[in-house]
Chain A
Amino acid sequence: MARYQYEPFPYVTPPELAGDGSTGAPVIIVGAGPIGLAAAIDLATHGVASIVVDDNNVVSVGSRAICWAKRSLEIFDRLGIGERMLAKGVTWKLGRVYRGDEEVYNFDLLPEDGHRFPAFINLQQYYVEQYLVERCADFPDLIDLRFKNRVLSVGQDETGAYAEIETPDGSYRLTGDYLLACDGANSRIRRQFGLDFEGRHFEERFLIADVEMEADFPSERWFWFTPTFHPGQSALLHKQPDNIYRIDLQLGPEADPEVEKQPEVVIPRIEKVVGGRPFKLDWVSVYSFNCRRIDRFVHDRVIFVGDSAHVVSPFGARGGNGGIHDVDNLCWKLARVVRGESDESLLESYNTERVHGADENISNSSWTSRFMSPEPGVEMAFRNAALSLAVDTPFARRVVNAGRLSVPCRLTDSALNSADDTGLDVPQEIGMVALDAPLTAPDGSPTWLMRQLGGGFACLVTGDADLDDAAVPEGIKLVRIGAGGFADAEGKVAERYGSAVYLVRPDQHVAARWTAPDAADIAAAMAYCTARVAA
């Protein structure tokens, strides 16, 4: 199997420097990683144009973010690359945790069926970026990708934001209504703004290696505490497409990154993990990590998205997935504000909701880090006690923390939600992402609830709930399950939603539900949810 072939993206002289004037766009996106590219596509699906600038001209070097969670796949599906990712990626849902060489427990991340997307796929970041770049080409009038365009500084006033950009042909200024800082963990824009990146640095060093080998390891996540092949430390093994395996080895706080990166040091370590199979090193990195965020993600016309706003440890796959959740939350709101349909105060809900999401990710990731690399003394005592008990004491298996993997956070307390008058006790709750379910379309073809909800506001009618078509405001999609609509193919809609009318946001979170709403109820919830500008 050939390794990934990096094809540089062409640099094109920007129109500002080619004498063609500025093409301009309402949104400037700085950074063409998964977050910036996904944001451009999401905005395009809402009809909003953007210009994406990046100082580089290739996709991610190294696999980097590889674990894409179910919710992210649903978002990628909305953006048009979900099926392609699923087809290429390695699907998995089972995690095994070992103490020494003995399995102490395993967990199934998606024990129930009736969802289009699996709990997780592993797919190298370079594939995700490639698919996103190719998807951008479907929006030639709405997405302008500019590689080798390096942002030197950004600024803003009451009317918009601008970026000073350097290219091989000289410098120019790009202006827009809003600017998204998707420039990653070392965000230059964050530093230029002098924003404190509050949180904690973890001293522990880790070796991350991608190796290419023929092996019959199952598609599972294997995590070892103190395995005999790597005494006293932890280890993680994950399968990726193209016969690439991700191996993550804890090295301790004293490890020298420069020494540990050398093949003559790495190769013997990997040999012990893979037990004598022939392999080739594809990518090696030595890292330590931080759990930090900036205080606010929205700074008037400049909005921080993804790693520029928050960083976590990799154990939990909450970095890339958390960033995609940011995009999902922000873009429909920004599109409404740019189009003048909503007041800019709607963007404040991005700040509140995603700060909440980032805090949840940071907490989970910090707790895992503390369990994996405890301080000597009492922390180590509790960690080792939990691991020893886990061998034969069921509760302790749940105490062992080898990574709490990314799930969407609940926006239960969001200001965009309306009261729930149903008294329903079903899995679906207000503030949660809508739960997927298999449907049968009126023409008999199979489909999925998430696909039918789509990327705009939707009114979902389930069970015996009744809703007059005329009660649904213009611009809101009506999705009926039952008479006159889609069939609940496996009864999952009834099980997950009961009987009610649901108002679903463009990011597929439930904002309101009623037993029998009228047009005024729905209009009021919509106004609440959109900070609608009075006509």
Chain B
Amino acid sequence: MALNTDFNLGADSDRLFNELLGAHDGLDREQSEQLNAGLILILMNHIGEPEVIREAIARARAALER
């Protein structure tokens, strides 16, 4: 299975993005970092496909260069 880079979030995408930001409300930087880390670990486990995860890491990293 390859990483799905097409839009896949449906009609709720803006709402979900906002909920992601909202989850950080009231947190300091350290707590925010841990929240993000926990979320990544949970989603990574849910995906469970090493190659998809590696591709996602590489793509996110490459995006920093743009």
Residues of B close to A382: CB separation below 8 A: 37, 40-41
Are B37 and A378 interface neighbours, CB within 8 A? yes
CB nearest to A379 among chain B residues: B37
**Interface window among B7-15, B17-25, B28-36, B55-63:** B28-36
Query: Out of B34, B35, B36, B41, which one reaches A399, CB within 8 Å?
Result: B41
Q: How far is the CB of A381 from chain B (nearest CB, A)?
A: 4
The contact of B33 among A377, A386, A395, A399, by CB within 8 Å, is A377
Query: C-beta contact mask, B44-66 vs A, less than 8 Å → 1, else 0?
Result: 01000000000000000000000
Q: How far is the CB of A506 from chain B (nearest CB, A)?
A: 36
Query: Chain A residue with minimal CB distance to B46?
Result: A395
For residue B39, which residue of chain A has the nearest CB? A385
| A389 engages B33 (CB within 8 Å) | no
A22 is an interface residue with CB less than 8 A from chain B: no
CA distance A61 to B45 in the complex (A): 45
Determine whether the beta carbon of A381 is less than 8 Å from that of B34.
yes
Among A377, A378, A386, the residue within 8 A (CB) of B41 is A386
Is residue A171 contacting chain B, with contact meaning CB distance below 8 A? Answer: no
How many chain-B residues does the 8 Å CB contact rule pick out?
11
| Residues on B with beta carbons closer than 8 Å to the beta carbon of A399 | 41, 45
Main secondary structure of the interface of A (DSSP, over half): helix
Taking a contact as CB atoms closer than 8 A, the residue among A377, A378, A389 that contacts B42 in the complex is A389
Q: Check if A381 sits within 8 Å of B41, measured CB to CB.
A: no
| Bound CA span A526–B64, Å | 54
* Residue in B33, B35, B45 whose beta carbon sits within 8 Å of that of A378 in the complex: B33
Using Cβ atoms and an 8 Å threshold, which residues of chain A touch B30? 381
- The complex places the Cα of A382 from the Cα of B33 at a distance, in Å, of 8
| Assembled-state Cα–Cα distance A399/B41 (Å) | 9
| A378 to B34 alpha-carbon distance, docked (Å) | 8
Question: In whole angstroms, how far apart are the Cα atoms of A386 and B38 in the complex?
Answer: 7
CA A399 to CA B40, docked complex, whole Å: 13
Give the residues in chain B near A384, CB-CB below 8 Å.
34, 37
Complex CA distance for A385 and B42, rounded to whole angstroms: 10
Of chain B, the residue at the smallest CB distance from A377 is B33
For residue A388, CB closer than 8 A to chain B, the reply is yes
Q: Which residue of B lies closest to A389 (CB)?
A: B38
Residues facing B in A384-429 (CB within 8 A) are 384-386, 388-389, 393, 395-396, 399
Q: In the bound complex, do residue A381 and residue B42 qualify as a contact, i.e. CB atoms below 8 Å apart?
A: no
The chain B residues found within 8 Å of chain A, CB to CB, are 30, 33-38, 40-42, 45
| Given A381-B30, A381-B36, A389-B41; 5 other pairs, CB 8 A cutoff | A381-B37, A386-B37, A388-B34, A389-B38, A396-B45
Q: Which 5 A-B residue pairs are closest in the complex by CB-CB distance?
A: A385-B38, A381-B33, A385-B37, A382-B37, A381-B37
Complex A-B: 18 CB contacts under 8 Å:
A378-B37, A381-B30, A381-B34, A381-B36, A381-B37, A382-B40, A382-B41, A384-B34, A384-B37, A385-B38, A386-B38, A388-B38, A389-B38, A393-B42, A395-B45, A396-B41, A396-B45, A399-B41
